Structure 1
Amino acid sequence: MHTESARTQVLALAAAFATGALLALQSRLNGRLAETVGGFPAAWVSFGSGLLILSVLLVRAEHRSRLGRVWVAVRSGRLRWWQVLGGVSGGLLVGTQTYAVPLVGVAAFLIATIGGQALSALLVDRQGLGPAPAVPLSGVRIAAAITAVAGVAIAATAGGGSGGRATLGLVPVLLAFGVGMLLAVQQAFNGRVNTVTGAPTATAWLNFATGSATLVLVGTVPVALSGGPERWDAPAWAWWGGLCGVVFIALTAWAVQHLGVLLFGLVTITSQMATALVLDLGNPATRDQVGAQMLTGVAITVLAAGAAAAAAQSDRRSARRSAVPASPA
């Protein structure tokens, strides 16, 4: 049993690392698509394609049955109605990606998102919004979150200069920070929904359905006023953001049950930053920003994730010891 638990923990950590890399890649894909077709149309393509992929699974009665469990849980009170709306955060994330990434780049967008996510995850774990029990705010956890924010702040100010991307637009950065705070809440809600569905793909479908509705609701008027896209000739690789989102949501819904929102968020921070660096190094427009200061910020963030992992393991051991009933005298 102990070996199985340890294997699950390792797999959950690997899934968390993969979701961070996918988020960085999705940001690049959706940002590039938005440069051609516009922000909201790119977001619609990304979320709509993901919803289409997941809807294929609805032909299976088992998949429809697992989705039906959500409505049963809401009616019975096992789930609150607002706990099934995690996809709203996902829709806003993709919408913000398509707006902010062309303006500030992948790394800067993720840095702002990570900052919001790290702070919000503390409160999410403390309030027990996810499927795991509430976790008190320990000094190590608070220090890890603060250190993560410090690391991303150092990386965010790399490549300075009046013409560099470090001179960030205030609006896209604030939007990315706010979306990052919502992302931690989404992860917690998805974990709860996944305990009901028992299938990450069913949880992902619900996310894409609510996220798509959100994007249509907030984007229809702006697109109608702007006249819609005039070009559709984006590179073929830029159209795959929806698939990244499908895998991202499915892995998140499973992994957060085993790691907790704070630890999951800090592990994804590490892979987001690493992948963003690779993407920026591969882009001639951002390659010169990857220097010693940005790498220092990434290293600090990785250390923060390691500290959070150690604290989480200690908390789980303490919780297991507390849960063992005392032997009768």
Structure 2
Amino acid sequence: MPTETAEEARPATVPVPSAVLPLLAAAVCGAVLPVQSRVNGALSEQLGALPAATMSFGSGLVVLTLLLAITPLRRRTAAVWVALRAGRLRPWQVVGGVGGALLVASQTYAVPLVGVTAFLVAVIGGQSVSALVVDRVGLGPAPAQPLRTTRVLAAGLTVVGVAVAASARPGGDGAAAGAGLLLALALVCAAGALTSVQQALNGVVTTVSRAPVATAWVNFLTGTLTLLLIGLVSSLAGGPAPQALSTGVPWWAWTGGVMGIVFIALAAFAVQHLPVLVFALVTVTTQLVVGVLLDLLDPAARQALGGQLLLGVMLALVGSVWAALARGRRASTPTAATHR
């Protein structure tokens, strides 16, 4: 009979750092979005929504472009354009950054109006519904998946959570103000839906670049160009002019773009070591918890944190976890992380 060596007989254990660090990375990754939302919202109060979103995305692009001085990253980024020219990637597959740009734009517009918590609930609702379509058509690197009743019901539950949270927000000075709040949340839901598309497209690009930072650079480039184009069209159509830069803008209001890069780096590390379900559970939970805490610190947003809004948060959380459970049974490997 073969005998076991001491190495083979040793119980299989997971080193503490390899078990704890991915969980911490996922938790911090989830906390970045609500903090970024508050930061970009503060910047928009000084510059206006669209200029603030453009500054946030543009600063991230500058940082990532500087990182391309590192030769391996530059080669990975060049591989994307080689694949594009060779036809292995189609042009529409490299425009995932449009979704990220519109999400940041919705941050800067909606957070000052509805607060971080309601913003996050709307994002989660849009993502949950859109993920059904993305998986059904096989938009990402994974094969197409049939619609399952459990995932449809879970997505429906998150939509109910969005509706409950939206109706909890006070209407301000009248029906017009209430309609403005509902419009803001509707735009956030649409932007959240596009982030599921962005995630799928980034998964395809990452299979070519094999470097999340290279994929991030492509995202920031297309996202920045999108915001600049929207700004140009708005200007030509007689839209509002950018506000004058105030000297009272706090330094932390300029860190939104860097936070996007931090999100990508942490998510890219975490998804390599955690199952899909665990990553989704940790990030969604920390997003909502940090969002509630940030609104508690804001006297204006604190007024909306009643039982009805918290009920909407719980419904969205349960629906998101339920959807992740149903999806986790079908996905054995995690998808690539994206910028938000």
- TM-score, normalising length: structure 2: 0.80
The more displaced of 103-112 and 165-174 is: 165-174
Flag structure 2 segments of 5+ consecutive residues without an equivalent: 1-11, 334-340
CA distance in 1, matches of 2:13, 2:324: 18
Question: Residue type matched to 2:68 in 1?
Answer: L
Does the 8 Å contact 2:124/2:320 carry over to 1? no
2:211 is equivalent to residue 196 of structure 1: no
How far apart are 1:251 and its partner, in Å?
4.5
Of residues 51, 56, 69 in structure 1, which corresponds to 2:79? 69
Does the 8 Å contact 1:281/1:290 carry over to 2? yes
Does the 8 Å contact 2:121/2:312 carry over to 1? no
Of residues 192, 210, 221 in structure 2, which corresponds to 1:180? 192
Residue 238 of structure 1 corresponds to which residue in structure 2?
253
The more displaced of 297-306 and 266-275 is: 266-275
Residue 159 of structure 2 corresponds to which residue in structure 1?
149
2:290 is equivalent to residue 280 of structure 1: no
CA distance in 2, matches of 1:117, 1:123: 10
Residue 322 of structure 1 corresponds to which residue in structure 2?
none
Does the 8 Å contact 2:140/2:200 carry over to 1? yes
Q: How does 1:243-322 map to 2 (within 5 A)?
A: 243-251=258-266, 268-316=283-331
Structure number, greater radius of gyration? 2
Of residues 30, 50, 57 in structure 2, which corresponds to 1:40? 50
The more displaced of 116-125 and 246-255 is: 246-255
Question: What value does the CA root-mean-square deviation take over the aligned residues?
Answer: 3.2
Does the 8 Å contact 2:68/2:74 carry over to 1? yes
Of residues 74, 86, 94 in structure 2, which corresponds to 1:84? 94
Does the 8 Å contact 1:154/1:297 carry over to 2? yes
More helix, by proportion: 1
Does the 8 Å contact 2:157/2:316 carry over to 1? yes
CA distance in 2, matches of 1:253, 1:192: 14
Question: Residue type matched to 1:26 in 2?
Answer: Q
Q: Deviations over 1:245-300 (max 9, x none)?
A: 1123444566678766x997676443332222111101011112212222222223
CA distance in 1, matches of 2:325, 2:210: 28
Question: Residue type matched to 1:207 in 2?
Answer: N
CA shift in 2, pair 1:96/1:304, >3 Å: closer
Of residues 223, 232, 247 in structure 2, which corresponds to 1:220? 232
Residue 23 of structure 1 corresponds to which residue in structure 2?
33
Residue 9 of structure 2 corresponds to which residue in structure 1?
none
2:137 is equivalent to residue 123 of structure 1: no
CA distance in 2, matches of 1:9, 1:192: 27
Q: Deviations over 1:35-93 (max 9, x none)?
A: 11122221121011111111111111111100111122223333221111011111122
Question: Residue type matched to 1:95 in 2?
Answer: A
Of residues 225, 229, 249 in structure 1, which corresponds to 2:243? 229
The more displaced of 296-305 and 197-206 is: 296-305
Flag structure 1 segments of 5+ consecutive residues without an equivalent: 320-329
Residue 324 of structure 1 corresponds to which residue in structure 2?
none
CA shift in 2, pair 1:227/1:122, >3 Å: closer
CA distance in 2, matches of 1:265, 1:282: 26
Does the 8 Å contact 1:31/1:97 carry over to 2? yes
CA distance in 2, matches of 1:122, 1:112: 16
Q: How does 1:162-173 map to 2 (within 5 A)?
A: 167=178, 169=180, 170-173=182-185
CA distance in 1, matches of 2:19, 2:160: 27
Q: Deviations over 1:211-242 (max 9, x none)?
A: 11111111135458544322322122211111
Question: Residue type matched to 2:195 in 1?
Answer: L
Question: Residue type matched to 1:308 in 2?
Answer: A
CA distance in 1, matches of 2:88, 2:213: 20
2:112 is equivalent to residue 98 of structure 1: no
Does the 8 Å contact 1:191/1:254 carry over to 2? no
CA shift in 2, pair 1:11/1:137, >3 Å: farther
CA shift in 2, pair 1:188/1:17, >3 Å: farther
